[in-house]
Chains A and B, each alone.
Chain A
Amino acid sequence: MSDAAENRPGWGLTATAFTVVAFLQLPVIVVVLAAFSTTSYLTIPPQGLTLAWFGKVLSDPTYLSAIRMSLILACGSTLISLVLGVAAAYALFRKVLPGSEAVTSFLMAPLVMPAVVVGVALLQFYSMTGLRGSLVGLLLAHVVITVPYVVRSALASLSGLDLAVEEAARVLGASGFEAFRLVTLPLIAPGLVAGALFSFITSLDNVPVTIFLISASQTTLPVLIFSSVEMGIDPSVAAVSTLLILATGIVLLLAERRFGFHRFV
């Protein structure tokens, strides 16, 4: 008990922390409030109270196709990242190849590289290879951005594993793949769920890479929000942003409840 008391931060630190969090979260609150305004322009505090902007967004084919596009990209890139990322992490963990450290750094590079740089580089590359404007190209770009999250969470989970467990399965008659599927995979699953969620969310709200690669006909939700804001703001942008915040928040909350996944971040 005395330990806990000694480790508790002082009121000064607590107050500072609260101020910082409030400052960071204030814009989010502003956007959410603005979505309920009856005016045709963004204003704070909101005038009146209406759900009309949500209705407008959910019946607007431009928004709907953008939402559909974003979900396809997020789901697709997360699935591909899971397969590739888990395979890569397993090989790195088992040190199948020499130079595992170098490969790890390479896989993690998109995480530390400025996203704009990745976007420009891919644009150049896609122009040369003819992938520009294609869904496949966009999907691959999102895989590049999301795969580090899966690799990192998979590596973290694997490092906590007793290697003998998989060997035990092998000696008991399981093939290499069976041992992985029946023993290793279930044991690292909570970590993979965390990685997949991060991957999903990262893909869902990516602008800086996506904006270089989309065609005029197919846009994603965050890029659409970005361009809508440029053309003049009405509360429908706030409404769709609120939906995005809500969806992300619910997913994170469920994951935390189910897996306590803060351990894997």
Chain B
Amino acid sequence: MGSLTFEGLGKSYGEVEVVRDISLTIAEGEFVSLLGPSGCGKTTILRMVAGLVEPSRGRILIGRDDVTNLPPNKRGLGLVFQSYALFPHMTVFENVAFGLRRRKVAGTELDKRVREALGMVRLAAFGERYPRQLSGGQQQRVAIARALAPHPRVLLFDEPLSNLDAQLRDEMQIELKRLQRNLGITTLFVTHDQGEALSLSDRVGVMAKGVMQQFAAPEEIYHRPATGFVASFIGKPNRLAGSVAMREGSGGRLAVGGVAIPAARIEQPAGAQVDVVIRQEAVAIRSGAAQSDEIAGEIVLRSFSGARVQYVVRLAEGVEIVAETASHGPEASLTAGAPVALAIDPASVFAMPPEGATA
């Protein structure tokens, strides 16, 4: 076991910098996710930790040991691949025993530790099967048992749940979290799924274009995004083209097609063209006429998705935004054409540099 530290970690392929100057420490026993769209450099970081990609700059430390120049087999890590990467010509038992045998574990001790690892993922009875005889979820669990069996210092996950169907993914999420908590093993988890990252992690690192945008607890990431990218990547954002109408203290008012929207935090000067990012879940919807501080609108579309209901609401001058509410709440059955009043939490409104197309 040990902490995992990056010091000025970077990777370039020729002119292209895919990972830029990452410095952070993952505490012993901590669960950290790297979250970002594909090509943001998160997988490259994971592969550098595993020793499968050579860093261009910086150092990687496990505990106090500098492992930057060690080959993968000398790092004492566990890695779970997106494709599982089980050895198809070996039984489940032999797959799990592979790492132990490399460490010269043999005989009854080997037997005991393989059984222990398979027991942890509830596959004790599957030792004699071959990977092709297992379902996707079972293969995934074998891959986890295989990574855990040698008692790695740090556990790495590369998008491990993205090949599972939705229900199984939720089950595995809970199982993973429980396993990690019980074992107290330092974990680095790479994913593009914000739900996974937020629910599993002690801290989340949000990445874009090789740069760490924010490294903080999930609540912090969600409620106080450090950059415009984080604001628009996390949650379900509305993104509207607008401008800064008025500055006042650290915040002010934004204008979207004549509709004024208060925001608690604005970095741009008055008059600047910006993209206004508003979380769907930060828009409170109420049927009836708008009072002061509220924005008047009209329902265009209602979309039911189980626990939540989404409304497309048309504001003045054709501006449309999406608002979300609980499907058992009082405002769950509004119909198209109904007049509504919207209240938007100024802390959940972000102004960011315009990115051309609006969504």
Complex Cα distance A185/B243, Å? 62
Q: Which residues of B contact A169 (CB under 8 A)?
A: 87, 98
- From A164, A170, A187, give the contact of B71 (CB < 8 A): A170
Q: Are B87 and A173 in contact (CB under 8 A)?
A: no
Q: Is A172 an interface residue (CB 8 A)?
A: yes
- From B82, B85, B103, give the contact of A173 (CB < 8 A): B103
Q: Which residues of B contact A178 (CB under 8 A)?
A: 73, 102
- From B75, B83, B86, B88, give the contact of A171 (CB < 8 A): B75
Q: Are B89 and A186 in contact (CB under 8 A)?
A: yes
Q: Is B150 an interface residue (CB 8 A)?
A: yes
Complex Cα distance A147/B78, Å? 39
Q: Which residues of A contact B102 (CB under 8 A)?
A: 172-174, 178
- The residues in B between 79 and 94 inclusive whose CB is less than 8 angstroms from any CB of A are 79, 81-83, 85-89
Q: Are A171 and B89 in contact (CB under 8 A)?
A: no
- The residues in B between 182 and 212 inclusive whose CB is less than 8 angstroms from any CB of A are none
Complex Cα distance A174/B89, Å? 17
Complex Cα distance A183/B81, Å? 16
Q: Which residues of B contact A171 (CB under 8 A)?
A: 50-52, 72-73, 75, 77-79
Closest to B73 in A: A173
Return A81 CB to nearest CB of chain B, in Å. Answer: 24
Q: Which residues of A contact B75 (CB under 8 A)?
A: 171
Closest to A165 in B: B85
Q: Are B73 and A168 in contact (CB under 8 A)?
A: no
Q: Is A256 an interface residue (CB 8 A)?
A: no
Closest to A170 in B: B72
Q: Which residues of A contact B72 (CB under 8 A)?
A: 167, 170-171
Q: Is A134 an interface residue (CB 8 A)?
A: no
Q: Are B81 and A174 in contact (CB under 8 A)?
A: no
Closest to B76 in A: A173
Interface string of A184-219 (1 = CB under 8 A from B): 001100000000000000000000000000000000
Q: Which residues of A contact B83 (CB under 8 A)?
A: 162, 164
Return B77 CB to nearest CB of chain A, in Å. Answer: 6
Specify the main secondary structure of chain B where it touches its partner.
loop
Specify the main secondary structure of chain A where it touches its partner.
helix
Q: Is B251 an interface residue (CB 8 A)?
A: no
Q: Is B99 an interface residue (CB 8 A)?
A: yes
Q: Is A124 an interface residue (CB 8 A)?
A: no
Q: Is B146 an interface residue (CB 8 A)?
A: yes
Given A173-B73, A173-B150, check contact A167 B85 (CB 8 Å). yes
- From B51, B78, B87, B99, give the contact of A183 (CB < 8 A): B87
Closest to A183 in B: B87
Return B69 CB to nearest CB of chain A, in Å. Answer: 15
Complex Cα distance A13/B307, Å? 63
Q: Is A175 an interface residue (CB 8 A)?
A: yes
Q: Which residues of B contact A187 (CB under 8 A)?
A: 88-89
Complex Cα distance A2/B76, Å? 56
Complex Cα distance A173/B102, Å? 6
Closest to A176 in B: B71
Closest to B52 in A: A167
Q: Are A162 and B85 in contact (CB under 8 A)?
A: yes
Interface string of B44-87 (1 = CB under 8 A from A): 00000011100000000000000000011101111101110111
Complex Cα distance A178/B71, Å? 13
Complex Cα distance A176/B76, Å? 15
Complex Cα distance A162/B98, Å? 18
Q: Are A174 and B85 in contact (CB under 8 A)?
A: no
Interface string of B327-343 (1 = CB under 8 A from A): 00000000000000000
Q: Which residues of B contact A186 (CB under 8 A)?
A: 89
Q: Which residues of B contact A167 (CB under 8 A)?
A: 50, 52, 72, 79, 81, 85
Q: Are B73 and A174 in contact (CB under 8 A)?
A: yes
* Interfacial residues, chain A to chain B (CB-CB below 8 A): 162, 164-165, 167-176, 178, 182-183, 186-187
Beyond the given A168-B146, A173-B73, A174-B73, please list 14 additional residue pairs across the A-B interface where CB-CB is below 8 A: A164-B82, A167-B81, A167-B85, A168-B81, A170-B52, A171-B52, A171-B73, A172-B73, A172-B98, A172-B99, A173-B99, A173-B102, A173-B103, A174-B98
* Interfacial residues, chain B to chain A (CB-CB below 8 A): 50-52, 71-73, 75-79, 81-83, 85-89, 98-99, 102-103, 146-147, 150
